[in-house]
Amino acid sequence: MSLLKLLIFHPILMLSAFTGTADGYYEYTSLDCVYSISDYSDMVFLVSYSFNKAVYLQFNSSVGKYIGYTELGVKYAENANKDQARMQQEKAAVDTYCRPNAQVLDSAVRDKTVKPKITLRSAREAGGSRPAMLMCSAYEFYPKKIKVSWLRNGEEMTSDVTSTMEMADGDWFYQIHSELEYTPKSGEKISCMVEHASFSKPMITDWDPSVPEAERNKIAIGASGLVLGIIIAAAGLIYYKKKSAGRILVPN
């Protein structure tokens, strides 16, 4: 699934009609516009008719006719496809209904997008028969819909991947986490790819295994300790000089 198909997603435009009866049966009709390219050149208009949640009849503009999915739906489709005025109206809906509304809705959504903050770290190093584990996290993004995937040498990996759902932070932003178990191999490149409406193209972050996470933590802690030591030593020296300058030497 491409970036915009995921994020300018089905159903981005939907008009629904619902009718019910006292005994619990109901009829549901929805009009949907589905597309994946920002210029709407692949826009598809769908009209779906459902009875008790099961779709029995659908018009698809890319097919250009009604399709029935049940015995009764097939009969309805045959009759609808013979109605030339109805068919012309349905085929024209991509231009008369979908594109104008998509332009309005897209501008409203895209102006409010917030790019996710992405981190890629080692959650577990390989040891014995136990594989290594990487975690890719995306924080503080909007809107909610996002896709996080893993690449090995540019090819998407689908096995040994575990991901959370998008989780609300409680401040209109969201976060998501994805884990990959893998056996490191020399010369390979592991990457985390994030697709979101705030990006014009997928954001790819490469994993750098040259320095293990434990070593990076040691280096960071050691550097912090060194800086703190220098600050304390400098402060002590300044204090000593001030005290020395304030003394009056009395000869014996």
Q: What is the CATH number of the domain that holds 142?
A: 2.60.40.10
The residue among 75, 110, 145 that closes a domain is 110
Instruction: Specify whether 127 is located in the same domain as 104.
Output: no
Instruction: Specify whether 142 is located in the same domain as 78.
Output: no
Residue carrying structure tokens 């060194």: 226
Instruction: Specify whether 93 is located in the same domain as 173.
Output: no
Query: Whole-prediction pTM value?
Result: 0.47
Instruction: Specify whether 149 is located in the same domain as 84.
Output: no
Which residues are CB-contacts of 234 (< 8 A; sequence separation ≥ 6)?
Answer: none
Q: Tell me how far apart the alpha carbons of residues 165 and 178 are, in angstroms, rounded to a whole number.
A: 9
- Contact (Cβ atoms closer than 8 angstroms) between residue 136 and residue 205: yes
Residue 239 lies in a domain: no
Instruction: Specify whether 154 is located in the same domain as 176.
Output: yes
Q: Residue 230 is inside which H or E element, if any?
A: helix 213-245
Q: Say if residue 106's pLDDT is above 90.
A: no
Instruction: Specify whether 46 is located in the same domain as 62.
Output: yes
Instruction: Specify whether 99 is located in the same domain as 150.
Output: no
Please tell me the total count of domains within the chain: 2
Q: What pLDDT is stored for residue 5 in this prediction?
A: 38
Instruction: Specify whether 61 is located in the same domain as 44.
Output: yes
Reported confidence tier of residue 93, pLDDT bands at 50, 70, 90: very high
Average pLDDT, rounded, for the chain: 81
The per-residue pLDDT for range 213-233, each reduced to its tens digit, is 555 555 556 666 666 777 787
The residue among 71, 91, 110 that closes a domain is 110
The per-residue pLDDT for range 168-200, each reduced to its tens digit, is 988 889 999 999 998 888 889 999 999 998 898
Q: What pLDDT is stored for residue 22 in this prediction?
A: 53
The per-residue pLDDT for range 33-58, each reduced to its tens digit, is 888 777 888 899 999 999 888 999 99
Reported confidence tier of residue 4, pLDDT bands at 50, 70, 90: very low
The residue among 60, 83, 110 that closes a domain is 110
Reported confidence tier of residue 211, pLDDT bands at 50, 70, 90: low
Q: Say if residue 134's pLDDT is above 50.
A: yes
Q: Which range marks the domain in which residue 92 is found?
A: 3-110
Q: Say if residue 248's pLDDT is above 70.
A: no
Q: What pLDDT is stored for residue 115 in this prediction?
A: 93
Residue 241 lies in a domain: no
Q: What pLDDT is stored for residue 206 in this prediction?
A: 95
- Contact (Cβ atoms closer than 8 angstroms) between residue 98 and residue 85: no
- Per-residue exposure over 147-165, b if at least 16 CB sit within 10 Å of its own CB, e if not: bbbbbeeeeeeeeebeeee
Residue 102 lies in a domain: yes
Residue 37 lies in a domain: yes
Reported confidence tier of residue 95, pLDDT bands at 50, 70, 90: very high
Strands 117-124 and 132-141: antiparallel
Q: Tell me how far apart the alpha carbons of residues 106 and 113 are, in angstroms, rounded to a whole number.
A: 11
